[in-house]
């Protein structure tokens, strides 16, 4: 079953990608990337059709309602990602910047995304947690996992490389078979799309990075012990504190190994 789901997701995404790219270009959904090239944005929407199809297959064969929680998170964050990609203000960046604007009485799309994502994470956490401490830890873990992919998505392929690294670790460490299937539901699509992002032919935008991030957060929150989740949360908090003070791109460029991985395949 896991191979069937992978093939459906991978081949289906390969098939639909040219159609979605043409749709975005013809609709003028384009933006300048870091090299000032105009390319399609919102390309993360490509992930959604095959996620729905494969989730339907999982629900039919496994009769588990967990897939609905997973889909709720993905679709909710894809929606707010599309909004941010289309009308987002790029003059304000970082969680700190967006919340500062909010305190001054100005709501940015980034601020709305942070608040909306927090409430989505809260609802998911309430659904899967056993006590108030679990709810708090899982909410923060899911919300910060989502934003982690946004932090990485500043250069072609960077966020997807980070997602693939984490997903491979999860595939080998999640204790049950069903969560592995849930990982493959998205992983297959991302691998099929990867070249488009890596070669800067399209930009998945917050539409895609939100989906990658919340999927990781949900898998971790749902399948690991409290100690593991707490350690992951502490790591995420540290990463966010560092990236509020220092440029992540500069950190990567100044590290030979990270820079090599970052440039690989471009």
- Enumerate the H helices of 104-204 as residue ranges: 109-128, 132-152, 158-173, 177-198
pLDDT of residue 93: 64
- Tokens representing 59 are 């629900």
Q: What is the CA radius of gyration of the chain?
A: 18
Region of 144 (left: φ > 0; alpha: ψ -120 to 50; beta: rest) is alpha
pLDDT of residue 174: 92
Q: How far apart are CA 92 and CA 180, in angstroms?
A: 37
* CB of 43 closer than 8 Å to CB of 204: yes
- Tokens representing 26 are 């013809």
Tally of structural domains, the chain: 1
Residue 225's SS3 state is: coil
pLDDT of residue 161: 96
Q: Which residues contact 71 (CB under 8 A, 6 or more apart)?
A: 51, 52, 55
pLDDT of residue 19: 95
* CB of 142 closer than 8 Å to CB of 73: yes
Residue 106's SS3 state is: coil
How does pLDDT run across 21-50, given as a tens digit for each residue?
999 999 999 988 777 888 999 999 999 999
How does pLDDT run across 185-232, given as a tens digit for each residue?
999 999 999 999 999 999 999 999 999 999 999 999 999 999 999 999
- Phi then psi for 38, rounded to 5 degrees? -80, 120
pLDDT of residue 44: 94
Rounded (10°) angle between helices 132-152 and 109-128 = 140
Q: In the block, which residue shows the tokens 């830890």? A: 137
Q: Which has the closest alpha carbon to 137: 222, 49, 42?
A: 222
- Domain holding 223, by residue range, is 2-263
CA atoms within 13 A on the CB side of 176: 8
How does pLDDT run across 92-125, given as a tens digit for each residue?
666 666 667 777 777 777 788 888 999 999 999 9
């Amino acid at each position: 079953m896991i191979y069937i789901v992978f093939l459906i997701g991978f081949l289906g995404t390969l098939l639909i990608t040219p159609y979605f790219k043409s749709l975005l270009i013809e609709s003028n959904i384009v933006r300048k990337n870091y090299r000032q090239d105009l390319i399609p944005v919102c390309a993360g929407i490509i992930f959604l059709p095959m996620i729905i199809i494969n989730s339907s297959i999982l629900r039919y064969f496994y009769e588990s309602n967990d897939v609905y929680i997973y889909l709720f998170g993905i679709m909710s964050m894809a929606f707010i990602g599309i909004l941010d990609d289309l009308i987002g203000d790029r003059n304000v960046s970082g969680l700190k910047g967006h919340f500062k604007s909010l305190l001054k009485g100005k709501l940015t799309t980034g601020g709305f995304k942070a608040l909306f994502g927090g409430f989505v994470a809260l609802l998911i956490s309430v659904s899967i947690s056993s006590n108030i401490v679990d709810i708090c830890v899982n909410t923060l873990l899911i919300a910060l996992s989502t934003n982690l992919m946004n932090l990485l998505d500043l250069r072609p392929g960077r966020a997807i490389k980070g997602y693939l690294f984490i997903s491979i670790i999860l595939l080998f460490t999640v204790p049950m078979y069903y969560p592995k299937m849930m990982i493959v539901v998205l992983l297959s699509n991302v691998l099929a799309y990867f070249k488009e992002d890596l070669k800067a032919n399209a930009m998945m935008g917050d539409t895609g990075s939100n989906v990658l991030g919340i999927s990781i957060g949900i898998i971790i929150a749902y399948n690991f012990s409290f100690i593991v989740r707490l350690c992951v949360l502490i790591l995420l908090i540290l990463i966010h504190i560092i990236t509020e003070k220092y440029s992540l791109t500069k950190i990567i460029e100044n590290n030979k190994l990270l820079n090599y991985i970052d440039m690989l395949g471009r």
